[in-house]
Amino acid sequence: MVELLPSLLRDVQRTYARDPTAGRLVVEAYRVTAALLVKLDETDLAWLAVDRAMAAATGDRLLVACAAVQLGQVLRSSAWMRSVLLAAAYRIAPQDLDAGSRQELSLCGALLVQAALIAARCGDERTTGDLLDEAAEMAARVGDGHDHHRTAFGPTAVELARCAAAVEWGDGSAAIARHKQSIRRDGWRLLPVEHRAAHLVDAARAYLQAGDPANAARVLLDAEILAPYEVRRRPAGREVLAEIARDPKAPAMIGELALGLGLV
C-alpha cells in the first residue's frame, strides 16, 4: 500500500482536474491514505490526508460523512471531535430508521461508533453506552456481511466496539467477556481480515489487563497469522507484543517474534 499510494493519489488528482465531478474518487483515495497512516501512527500525515478528503467532499453531505469516518480515527483522542462526528452522523441519519437505506445507516452508525470510542477514551462510560446502543439499532437493520462505504458496519462490529471501549476503561474482564461472545457470532467471519486482526490485538490487551499473559499471547498469535502486519508493523500491535514478551511465562513463539522484530 505504501508503494502504491503515491501513484494512486497522482492519478486521482489528474482525473479530478479533468473532471470536477470525480470528487468521490479523491475522497476515497484520501480515506485509504488516512487509514493506512493511522495504522503506521503517522498522525500528522493522516490528518493532512483527511483534510484533503474533507476539502474534496465539501458540498456533499454524504461524502463529508465518509471523510469524517477517517477523521474520527485520526483524532480519536480529541474530546471535541465527538461533536464533529455526531454532527456529520445526524446530517445523514434517516428520520425513520426502518425507511433508511443500508448505506445511510452504515455510514451513520460507523460515525456513532467512532464518537463512542472517543467518549470511551475520555472515560465517559454513559455516553459511550448510549452511542453504541444507538449504533446497535442501526446495525440490526443493516446486518452483518456488508461493507457499505467501506465501514464494515453491522451488529458484530458494534459488539467489537463495546469490547474496545471496555479496554479503554481498563476493564479487562468485561472486554474478554465481550470478545468471547463476539467471535462466536456468525458475523465474525464476515468482517474484513484487518478488522478481525485489529480486534484480536485489543483482546490481547484485555487479557493483559486481566493478568492472563498466556491467553494474551494466544490471541496475539492468532492476529499475527490472520494479518501479520497488524502485529509486526502497527505500533499498537508491537506494543502489546513487547509487553507480552517481557513476561517470563510467555510462549517461545512470542519471544522469537519479538526478538526478530527487535522489541526485546
Cell numbers 503515491 correspond to what residue?
A: 6
Amino acid at 130: D
Say what the pLDDT of residue 140 is.
96
DSSP character at residue 225: H
Angle of CA points 69, 48, 59, to nearest 5°: 55
Closest among 108, 196, 102, 172 to 143, alpha carbons compared: 102
Is 113 a member of any domain?
Answer: no
Query: What is the value of pTM for the model shown?
Result: 0.86
Say what the pLDDT of residue 263 is.
92
246: left (phi over 0), alpha (psi -120 to 50) or beta: alpha
Structural domains in the chain (count): 1
Say what the pLDDT of residue 38 is.
87
- The parts of the chain modelled with pLDDT lower than 70 are 77-79
- Rounded Cα gap, residues 105 and 131, in angstroms: 14
Is 35 a member of any domain?
Answer: yes
Is 61 a member of any domain?
Answer: yes
Say what the pLDDT of residue 159 is.
97
CA distances from 68 to 7, 26, 35, 213, 253 (A): 24, 14, 12, 36, 39
Say what the pLDDT of residue 87 is.
86
Say what the pLDDT of residue 73 is.
80
Say what the pLDDT of residue 77 is.
59
Within 13 Å and on the Cβ side, how many CA atoms surround 211?
A: 0
Is 181 a member of any domain?
Answer: no
Is 52 a member of any domain?
Answer: yes
**Which H or E run includes 232?**
helix 228-232
Say what the pLDDT of residue 29 is.
94
DSSP character at residue 264: -
C-alpha cell at 123: 472515560
Q: How is 108-128 classified by DSSP, letter by letter?
A: HHHHHHHHHHHHHHTT-HHHH
Residue 24 CB: number of other CB atoms within 10 A? 15
Is 246 a member of any domain?
Answer: no
Say what the pLDDT of residue 78 is.
65
Is 142 a member of any domain?
Answer: no
Say what the pLDDT of residue 62 is.
87
**Which H or E run includes 105?**
helix 102-121
Say what the pLDDT of residue 7 is.
94
Is 43 a member of any domain?
Answer: yes
Q: How is 149-197 classified by DSSP, letter by letter?
A: GG---SHHHHHHHHHHHHHHHT-HHHHHHHHHHHTTSGGGGGS-HHHHH
What domain range includes position 51? 1-75
Torsion angle, alpha carbons of 133, 80, 64, 94, to 10: 30
CA distances from 56 to 18, 26, 29 (A): 14, 7, 11
